Amino acid sequence: MNLLQNLPKDLQEEIFETILQTKDITLERIISKGHTTPEGEWYDQDQHEWLLLLAGSATILFSDGGEVKLQKGDHLTIPAHSRHRVIKTAKGTETIWLALHYMD
């Protein structure tokens, strides 16, 4: 599978595809196109999350006010229970993420 090919034509909704899952980890491809976390909602996960942006761009806001802008090739580790939300993804092109969820 090529992570940058076979992209869905209909991206009205953000796409989450599990690539690999074990009892300890989940690896997924996320495809966004102008999608953001709904207003007032926050991710607050029990697992750590490591993100790699394969294409596009995104901005993540943390509940403490910190903001991280990601471009193609950037990666970010989000510790468990770090409340965050996606406030921007590229509108004119797909933003393709690789997300690894894991415990210590």
Model confidence band, residue 46 (pLDDT cutoffs 50, 70, 90):
very high
Q: Which CATH number fits domain 27-102: 2.60.120.10, 3.30.1360.120, 3.40.50.720, 3.40.50.150?
A: 2.60.120.10
- Nearest alpha carbon to residue 88 among 61, 65, 63, 66: 61
Which pLDDT tens digit goes with each residue over 70-101?
999 999 999 999 999 999 999 999 999 999 99
pLDDT averaged over every residue in the chain: 96
Instruction: Look at residue 37 in the predicted model and tell me its pLDDT.
Output: 97
- 77/39 Cα distance (integer angstroms): 23
Instruction: Look at residue 1 in the predicted model and tell me its pLDDT.
Output: 81
Instruction: Look at residue 12 in the predicted model and tell me its pLDDT.
Output: 93
Say whether pLDDT at 33 is over 90. Answer: yes
- 75/65 Cα distance (integer angstroms): 19
